């Protein structure tokens, strides 16, 4: 557009110059030498006039371009300063500092809307300690503005920019006396709007009269919008920080409660271990003494009662031990490390009484896993004990064990040919105290598989049970695979 204006003006000047300058010498009947001199002077005059015209046309554009460049630089600097500010207070301070730079404004304020009080409060001022405006600033910090009061109140009420030529003569401006002492004249305010309401107001003051058009220029409006966006962003960040702080407080509070519950559970476990097992040992010992000392003198019914007492005491002791083992899976900190699954299986089989009478097929080798050695042993002991125990009366247990890598996990499969269970029972059998058979048919407490399941979960694994009534049960255990070449090795020393 600028080039088009310059070219059009130049062409118009050229046409007019040629039209009049050529006709003038001819009308004066000059000699040839005089005509030549006139033509030379005409050419130089054209050059001079053209140059002056171009200067007059181009200088305003250059000034406007320089102002635009300075404004864009101010905008860029403002964006960078606000973006890097750690909090709202710093963002406002930096925003006002950049708003005053290379501008006619001597003082800048930001008023924030406070929903709880339904008014505006002064949040930031730059400069904070002006040479002659100290009273003006102090009065602002002690003032609460309602709709229509002061410059900021008018902007809040009208929801658009407001220009006041001389704040000292404005009746609605509550600090006009302080403004007169500070030498402030023109004031302009810009609203910051979020969610269809004014959340803050930017006020700028000058020590001279700034025309309305210059005061409400696009540059100042752009800077005001940037500061407004910064206010919205920093307020949102502050809200998130408050939410995080509240969440951290609640987590800490909940952690303290859980720690207290854990201590209570540990105390309860110690009580159970000592106060309940001690009487059971006494009962069992007394029953054994009766059986040994006078058992041969008792009739069959009395001997049966004594045997039943001993068996019940032993079952109660086993139940208490299983309860303690189950609760320990929630309280004890597990340290994950490489576990040789094959070695853990061999150690477990060596401790099982029914192993010698069973048919157990192990497909070797078995890969290593990332887990806790004691927890892996607990899982294998409970799962294999069930596989060897739950067979038809008089039948021999058949168990198949195999394991293979499945991406980042090791899939351990333990399948038996026992009595099996229904699909509904397979879903609930991992719950504590769930027994599918009477104690007279199959001994147990209903806790072993629940403890194994909890240990698997704490090691980052999973347990799947598939079974058919009368056709056996298959347990699929997935545990993290151990490898020395990826980041999973870092989990070895992580406690869960």
What's the rounded Cα separation, in Å, for the pair 405 and 270? Answer: 41
Residues 155 and 269 in one domain: no
- CATH number for the domain harbouring residue 116: 3.30.450.40
Residues 396 and 380 in one domain: yes
Last residue of a domain, one of 268, 299, 331: 331
Please indicate, yes or no, if residue 320 is contained in any of the structural domains: yes
Please indicate, yes or no, if residue 172 is contained in any of the structural domains: yes
Interval 67-125: pLDDT, tens: 666 666 666 666 666 666 667 677 777 777 777 777 888 998 989 888 888 999 998 88
CB atoms within 10 A of CB 405: 11
Please indicate, yes or no, if residue 131 is contained in any of the structural domains: yes
Please indicate, yes or no, if residue 150 is contained in any of the structural domains: yes
Interval 419-429: pLDDT, tens: 998 888 888 88
Token pair listed for 35 = 């005509």
Percent of the chain with pLDDT strictly greater than 90: 22
Last residue of a domain, one of 50, 81, 112: 81
| CA nearest to 383, candidates 358, 340, 414 | 414
Enclosing domain of residue 108: 85-216
pLDDT at 218: 58
Residue 110 bridge partners (DSSP): 124, 202
Phi, psi of 340 (to 5 degrees): -75, 105
CB-based contact 213:89 (threshold 8 Å): no
Residues 353 and 435 in one domain: yes
pLDDT at 84: 66
User: Among 2-16, 276-290, 448-462, 466-480, whose mean pLDDT is lowest?
Assistant: 2-16
pLDDT at 331: 61
Label each residue of the chain as H, E or C: CHHHHHHHHHHHHHHHHHHHHHHHHHHCCCCHHHHHHHHHHHHHHHHHHHHHHHHHHHHHHHHHHHHHHHHHHHHHHHHHHHHCCCCHHHHHHHHHHHHHCCCCCCEEEEEEEECCCCEEEEEEEECCCCCCCHHHHHHHHCCEECCCCHHHHHHHHHCCCEEECCHHHCCCCCCHHHHHHHCCCCEEEEEEEECCEEEEEEEEECCCCCCHHHHCCHHHHHHHHHHHHHHHHHHHHHHHHHHHHHHHHHHHHHHHHHHHHHHHHHHHHHHHHHHHHHHHHHHHHHHHHHHHHHHHHCCHHHHHHHHHHHHHHHHHHHHHHHHHHHHHHHHCCCECEEECHHHHHHHHHHHCHHHCCCEEEECCCCCCEEECHHHHHHHHHHHHHHHHHCCCCCCCCEEEEEEEEECCEEEEEEEECCCCCCHHHHHHCCCCCCCCCCCCCCCCCCCHHHHHHHHHHHCCCEEEEEEECCCEEEEEEEEEECCCCCHHHHHHHCEC
pLDDT at 341: 93
User: Among 1-5, 13-17, 329-333, 387-391, whose mean pLDDT is lowest?
Assistant: 1-5
Residues 342 and 317 in one domain: no
- CATH number for the domain harbouring residue 387: 3.30.565.10
346: pLDDT strictly greater than 80: yes
What's the rounded Cα separation, in Å, for the pair 73 and 228? Answer: 18
59: pLDDT strictly greater than 70: yes
Residues 355 and 487 in one domain: yes
Please indicate, yes or no, if residue 222 is contained in any of the structural domains: no
Please indicate, yes or no, if residue 225 is contained in any of the structural domains: no
Residues 58 and 89 in one domain: no
Residues 340 and 488 in one domain: yes
Residues 281 and 358 in one domain: no
Domains in the chain, number = 4
Contacts of 487 (CB under 8 A, 6+ apart): none
What's the rounded Cα separation, in Å, for the pair 315 and 313? Answer: 5
489: pLDDT strictly greater than 50: no
pTM summary value:
0.45
Last residue of a domain, one of 311, 331, 351: 331
Residues 13 and 103 in one domain: no
Interval 113-146: pLDDT, tens: 888 889 999 988 888 777 666 889 999 999 999 9
Please indicate, yes or no, if residue 69 is contained in any of the structural domains: yes
Percent of the chain with pLDDT strictly greater than 70: 73
User: In what side-by-side order are the strands of the sheet with 162-164?
Assistant: 144-145, 119-126, 107-114, 197-205, 187-194, 162-164
Please indicate, yes or no, if residue 488 is contained in any of the structural domains: yes
pLDDT at 38: 67
Kindly tell me the sign of the dihedral angle through the C-alpha atoms of 221, 223, 227, 230. Answer: positive
Residues 312 and 371 in one domain: no
Residues 282 and 359 in one domain: no
Give the pLDDT band of residue 6 (cuts 50, 70, 90).
low
Residues 103 and 153 in one domain: yes
């Amino acid at each position: 557009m600028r080039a088009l204006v310059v070219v059009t003006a130049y062409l118009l000047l050229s046409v007019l110059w040629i039209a009049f300058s050529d006709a003038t010498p001819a009308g004066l009947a000059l000699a040839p030498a005089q005509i030549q001199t006139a033509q030379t002077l005409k050419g130089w005059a054209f050059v001079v006039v053209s140059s002056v015209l171009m200067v007059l046309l181009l200088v305003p554009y250059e000034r406007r371009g320089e102002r635009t460049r300075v404004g864009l630089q101010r905008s860029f600097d403002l964006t960078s300063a606000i973006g890097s500010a750690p909090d709202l207070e710093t963002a406002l301070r930096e925003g006002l500092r950049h708003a005053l730079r290379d501008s006619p404004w001597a003082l800048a304020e930001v008023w924030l809307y406070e929903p709880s009080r339904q008014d505006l409060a002064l949040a930031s001022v730059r400069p904070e300690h002006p040479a002659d405006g100290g009273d003006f600033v102090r009065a602002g910090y002690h003032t609460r503005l309602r709709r229509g009061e002061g410059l900021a109140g008018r902007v809040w009420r009208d929801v658009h920019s407001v220009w006041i030529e001389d704040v000292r003569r404005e009746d609605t401006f509550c600090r006009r006396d302080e403004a007169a002492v500070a030498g402030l004249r023109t004031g302009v305010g810009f609203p910051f709007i979020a969610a269809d309401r004014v959340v803050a107001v930017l006020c700028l003051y000058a020590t001279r009269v700034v025309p309305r058009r210059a005061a409400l220029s696009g540059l100042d409006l752009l800077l005001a919008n940037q500061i407004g966006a910064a206010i919205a962003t920093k307020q949102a960040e502050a809200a998130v920080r408050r939410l995080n702080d509240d969440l951290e407080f609640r987590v800490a509070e909940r952690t303290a409660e859980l720690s207290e519950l854990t201590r209570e559970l540990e105390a309860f476990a110690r009580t159970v271990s000592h106060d309940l097992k001690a009487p059971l040992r006494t009962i069992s010992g007394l029953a054994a003494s009766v059986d040994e000392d006078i058992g041969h003198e008792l009739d069959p019914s009395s001997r049966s009662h004594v045997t039943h007492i001993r068996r019940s005491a032993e079952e109660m002791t086993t139940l208490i031990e299983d309860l303690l083992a189950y609760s320990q899976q929630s309280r004890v900190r597990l340290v994950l490390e490489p576990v040789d699954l094959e070695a853990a299986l061999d150690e477990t089989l060596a401790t099982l009484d029914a192993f010698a009478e069973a048919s157990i097929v192990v497909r070797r080798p078995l890969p290593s896993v990332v887990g806790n050695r004691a927890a892996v042993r607990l899982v294998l002991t409970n799962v294999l004990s069930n596989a060897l125990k739950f067979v038809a009366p008089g039948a021999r247990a058949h168990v198949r064990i195999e394991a293979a890598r499945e991406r980042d996990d090791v899939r351990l499969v333990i399948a038996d040919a026992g009595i099996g269970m229904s699909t509904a029972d397979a879903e609930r059998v991992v719950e504590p105290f769930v027994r599918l058979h009477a104690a007279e048919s199959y001994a147990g407490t209903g806790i072993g598989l629940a403890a194994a399941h909890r240990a698997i979960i704490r090691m980052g694994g999973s347990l799947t049970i598939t079974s058919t009534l009368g056709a056996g049960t298959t347990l699929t255990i997935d545990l993290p695979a151990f490898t020395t070449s990826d980041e999973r090795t870092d989990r070895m020393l992580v406690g869960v």
